[in-house]
Amino acid sequence: MLLSQTFAAGVSGFLLGASLIVAIGAQNAFILRQGLMRRHVFVLCLICALSDALLIAAGVGGFGALVAASDTAIRVVTWAGAAFLTVYALIALKRAWQPETMTAAKDGGTSLAAAVAACLSFTFLNPHVYLDTVVLLGGISGGYDGAARLAFGAGAVLASFAWFFALGYGARLLEPLFARPSAWRVLDLVIACVMFALAFSLLR
């Protein structure tokens, strides 16, 4: 009975974690583009997954209520995140005016340091990340006890790892499409719209 309850909690954590992560956002758009360029894919996917794991662990460990109660922390992250997303949206718009082929993208991509910095910014300057992982998942995990609670958190972490690596390495399946400059233009326009929308939603 205990084993079945623990397994059920793990499945619930996986499904809820997946439902929160799969929604298109700044992280996903960035990983998709890097996956298409095949640049720093493993490192960036690992950073995203480990970051989620850290935040989920914090939430399951009881830090959700602390974060939710800090209006100042949420406000600072909100403004910083909105500013960063706006700048990145403008960069995406600039790229859209000068679309690149797959070969050019691979040869002229960002450095590892720049890619890691952007990845960390997309992760930790987004208040929704804290609300989804620390507050929401952490709060729901409070409904479980002992091993079931750990299984719930582990399921959510597993969903994050599965999604980011599937997105990063699965993006190459779209490589024939992105051999055309017009496809890159559409992708960057979509990324710009997503970033602007996220920035607006944060400020609103």
Residue 22 three-state SS? coil
User: What's the domain count of the chain?
Assistant: 1
The pLDDT tens digits for 69-91 are 666 766 776 677 678 778 878 87
- Any idea which residue has 């499904």 for tokens? 15
Letter for the amino acid at 193? C
Q: What range defines the domain where residue 133 resides?
A: 2-203
Contacts of 30 (CB under 8 A, 6+ apart): 44, 118, 119, 122
Q: CB–CB of 202/76 below 8 Å? A: no
At position 32, the amino acid (one-letter code) is L
CA atoms of 53 and 13, how far apart (whole Å): 12
**Residue range 3-47, pLDDT digits in tens:** 777 888 888 889 888 877 876 677 888 898 899 888 899 999 999
